[in-house]
Amino acid sequence: MTITKIGHCCLHIIENGVGILTDPGMFTNEQNSLTGISIIIITHEHGDHFHIDSVKEVLRNNPEAKIITNSAVAKLLEKQGIACEIVEDGQTTTIKEITISGFGKDHAVIYKTIPVVMNTGYLIASRFFLPGDAFITPNVPVEILGMPIAGPWMKISDSLDWALSIKPRVCIPIHDAILTSRTWIYTVPKKVLEDAGIQFDALEPGENVEY
């Protein structure tokens, strides 16, 4: 599995030759020119994860790509005449021999007066777990974990405790585009996780790593 970080939660994953794109949101546009994408995964409807103009561009360049998401995002896509496959908590699909399983139902609480939207985390190829905006525990083995670093719904200590409880082999920081400088905050999870024997690969946008 090769994972290239485009930015924030937008990742370009290649597994057994199959191109997968996650959460094409408003903080990045490099994804718009990618080709060779077979699967697009969208965890929830917030603009930093789901930007409809970006989705349209990706589909224009990859007309055979299939979108995997939840029913809340599906309703928004339907308004634009865009088809998708709904995969939610407890459900699994297989596309080109890549299994994608859904976990969780709700976005983490931002504030008590702000409505909670549907959020689905996805386990990709039984290896990489993308949680969206919630600390979902999938209760299955996770080799590579997308680890949220900053956001209005979280604090870093909660993310660290969550990652330590899941016990992946590797953590990749995600949900970090709101940070002006990411590297300074990476020092804390790097020390805590690597002391526990968990590799922390602090990918910068444009960097990739193979597992």
Measured CA to CA, the distance from residue 193 to residue 40 in angstroms comes to: 29
pLDDT on residue 86 = 98
Write the CATH number for 121.
3.60.15.10
Distance, C-alpha 54 to centroid of its chain? 16
Q: Taking 90 as the threshold, does the pLDDT of residue 92 lie above it?
A: yes
pLDDT band (50, 70, 90) for residue 157: very high
Work out the average pLDDT over 140-155.
Answer: 96
Q: What is the 3-state secondary structure (H, E, C) of 55-72?
A: HHHHHHHCCCCEEEECHH
> What SS3 state is found at 10?
strand
Q: State the total domains in the chain.
A: 1
Q: What percent of the chain has pLDDT over 90?
A: 91
Measured CA to CA, the distance from residue 180 to residue 177 in angstroms comes to: 8
Q: Which residues constitute the domain of residue 174?
A: 2-210
